[in-house]
């Protein structure tokens, strides 16, 4: 090869190299645009723009600017208590949530809350304090219906309520045995849930009446379904839980099962979930009744059985059910819903007193 030709080849090679590097450099910054894509086979085109979807009606909720301390992934707000169950249900303790965020969210959904309470026979004496303290502390700023189940309509006092709050008196039969009075709550809540509550409220909160609100109880408690840690057993071992232990009962829970011991005096959820819960408990009770057995702690035992296999989506700490005479351990920053010490002699009949203290002595509660 002559010297001249050799140089031409070298020149061509250098030029090709330059062109290649130029192209490569420029390609890097190309942002791909659909027009750059070549379609190999033509699919029939679907006009997505004109087809309607249920999503077209979606309303976009959003929060306004809010100022609050940033959550810190490495420093939990509480390290002295369990804040989450193994099935990722939050346990509601003071300091773990921001009520302003929650209130804004629940106001946007325009939620209404029904609170069911039973005042059968002499228990009507508790109604006044219950409602008056609820007006101060229960779901303030939200729509609330009080559903009072009673056999003594005339004994329910007239109480002026705040805006968006109303009192509904539901006349129901009373039962002779006190156990039945307590247990039949499940049936009555169930029946009214499907007939009435479902048309009137979004959530139900089902509580004892021998109680008073002494601090805020708000939308932080609301969830699909929720139960409350019993103030006598929040730290107890499984074997100490007073679940029903007789295998013949539908409420039976063996000693190697169970997450928490839930209190019969405060549970709730959406109307649909409370329907399912109360329906289960009532049917289980009826099955047991047919077999001549009644669970040790009545409705509470059936509630605990339900929550074992239908895990609640939120759990309330004992802040939400604390007996006034229990004192205040360090972890209990607030006492929101307090059990009033009862003058048992005045409020219960002799037989009830005897049955009750027998059980209480047996289980130290």
Q: CA 200, CA 194: separation in Å to the nearest integer? A: 11
Helix axes 271-290, 299-309, angle to 10 degrees: 120
Which residue intervals of 49-177 are DSSP H helices? 99-108, 127-137
Token representation of residue 360? 């209480």
Question: Is residue 348 near ligand 5GW by the rule CB under 6 A?
Answer: yes
202 versus 299: smaller Cβ distance to ligand 5GW: 299
- Based on the residue annotation, tell me whether 300 is a catalytic residue of this protein: yes
- The closest of 299, 295, 308, 312 to 187, measured between CA atoms, is 299
- The 10 Å Cβ neighbour count of residue 90 is 17
118 versus 213: smaller Cβ distance to ligand 5GW: 118
Question: Is residue 318 near ligand 5GW by the rule CB under 6 A?
Answer: no
Q: x/- site string to ligand 5GW, residues 244 to 283, per CB under 6 A?
A: ---------------------x------------------
Question: Is residue 288 near ligand 5GW by the rule CB under 6 A?
Answer: no
Tell me if 74 sits within 8 A of 324, measured CB to CB.
Answer: no
- Say which residues have a Cβ less than 8 Å from residue 167's Cβ, sequence separation at least 6: 131, 145, 146, 148, 156, 159, 161
Question: Is residue 226 near ligand 5GW by the rule CB under 6 A?
Answer: no
Token representation of residue 98? 């921001």
How many angstroms from the chain centroid is the CA of residue 189? 17
Residue from 102, 212, 308, 352 in contact with ligand 5GW (CB under 6 A) = 352
Residue from 119, 183, 186, 274 in contact with ligand 5GW (CB under 6 A) = 119
- The closest of 253, 249, 228, 251 to 241, measured between CA atoms, is 253
Residue from 187, 202, 210, 294 in contact with Mn ion (CB under 5 A) = 210
253 makes contact, choosing from Mn ion, ligand 5GW, none, with CB < 5 to 8 Å by partner type, with none
Question: Is residue 299 near Mn ion by the rule CB under 5 A?
Answer: no
Q: CA 124, CA 154: separation in Å to the nearest integer? A: 10
275 makes contact, choosing from Mn ion, ligand 5GW, none, with CB < 5 to 8 Å by partner type, with none
- The closest of 293, 352, 357, 306 to 175, measured between CA atoms, is 352
Tell me if 161 sits within 8 A of 235, measured CB to CB.
Answer: no
Q: x/- site string to Mn ion, residues 36 to 55, per CB under 5 A?
A: --------------------
Question: Is residue 188 near ligand 5GW by the rule CB under 6 A?
Answer: no
Residue from 91, 116, 124, 208 in contact with Mn ion (CB under 5 A) = 208
Tell me if 140 sits within 8 A of 231, measured CB to CB.
Answer: no
142 makes contact, choosing from Mn ion, ligand 5GW, none, with CB < 5 to 8 Å by partner type, with none
Token representation of residue 361? 């002595």
Q: List, in sequence order, every residue forming a beta bridge with 205; answer none if it has no partner.
A: 115, 268
Q: x/- site string to Mn ion, residues 238 to 277, per CB under 5 A?
A: ----------------------------------------
210 versus 273: smaller Cβ distance to Mn ion: 210
168 versus 347: smaller Cβ distance to Mn ion: 347
Distances (CA, A) of 265 to 102, 194, 205, 226, 318: 24, 21, 10, 12, 11
User: Which one of 16-24, 44-52, 202-210, 318-326 is the stretch in contact with Mn ion (CB under 5 A)?
Assistant: 202-210
Q: CA 64, CA 300: separation in Å to the nearest integer? A: 42
User: Which one of 1-9, 174-182, 287-295, 325-333 is the stretch in contact with ligand 5GW (CB under 6 A)?
Assistant: 174-182
User: Which one of 20-28, 66-74, 119-127, 283-291 is the stretch in contact with ligand 5GW (CB under 6 A)?
Assistant: 119-127
89 versus 285: smaller Cβ distance to ligand 5GW: 285
What phi and psi, each to the nearest 5 degrees, are found at residue 283? -65, -40
Question: Is residue 172 near ligand 5GW by the rule CB under 6 A?
Answer: no
* Residue numbers at the binding site for Mn ion (CB under 5 A): 208, 210
Supply the residues annotated as catalytic.
300
* Residue numbers at the binding site for ligand 5GW (CB under 6 A): 118-121, 123, 178, 181-182, 208-210, 265, 348, 352, 356
């Amino acid at each position: 090869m002559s010297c001249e030709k050799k140089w031409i080849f070298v020149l061509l090679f250098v030029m090709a190299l330059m062109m290649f590097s130029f192209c490569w450099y420029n390609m890097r910054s190309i942002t791909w645009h659909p027009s750059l894509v070549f379609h190999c086979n033509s699919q029939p085109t679907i006009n997505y723009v004109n087809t309607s979807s249920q999503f077209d009606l979606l309303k976009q909720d959003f929060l306004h600017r809010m100022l609050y301390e940033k959550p810190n992934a490495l420093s939990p707000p509480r390290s002295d208590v369990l804040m989450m169950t193994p099935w990722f249900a939050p346990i509601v303790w003071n300091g773990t949530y921001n009520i302003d965020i929650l209130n804004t969210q629940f106001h946007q959904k325009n939620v209404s809350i029904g609170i069911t309470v039973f005042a059968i026979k002499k228990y009507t004496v508790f109604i006044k304090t219950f409602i008056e303290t609820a007006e101060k502390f229960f779901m303030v700023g939200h729509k609330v219906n009080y559903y009072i189940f009673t056999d003594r309509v005339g004994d329910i006092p007239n109480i002026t309520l705040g805006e968006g709050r109303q009192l509904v008196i539901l006349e129901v039969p009373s039962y002779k045995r006190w156990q039945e009075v307590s247990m039949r709550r499940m049936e009555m809540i169930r029946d009214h849930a499907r007939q009435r509550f479902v048309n009137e409220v979004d959530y139900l909160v089902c509580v004892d009446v021998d109680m008073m609100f002494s601090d805020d109880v708000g939308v932080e408690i609301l969830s699909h379904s929720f139960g409350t840690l019993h103030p006598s057993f929040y730290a107890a071992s499984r074997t100490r839980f007073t679940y029903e232990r007789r295998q013949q009962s539908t409420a039976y829970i063996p000693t190697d099962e169970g997450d928490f011991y839930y209190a019969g005096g405060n549970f709730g959820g959406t109307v649909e979930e409370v329907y399912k819960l109360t329906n289960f408990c009532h049917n289980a009770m009826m099955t047991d009744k047919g077999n001549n057995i009644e669970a040790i702690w009545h409705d509470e035992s059936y509630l605990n059985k339900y929550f074992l296999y239908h895990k609640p989506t939120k759990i309330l700490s004992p802040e939400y059910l604390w007996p006034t005479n229990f004192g205040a351990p360090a972890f209990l920053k607030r006492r929101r819903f307090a059990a009033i010490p009862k003058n048992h002699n005045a409020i219960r009949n002799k037989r009830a007193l005897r049955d009750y203290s027998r059980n209480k002595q047996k289980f130290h509660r």
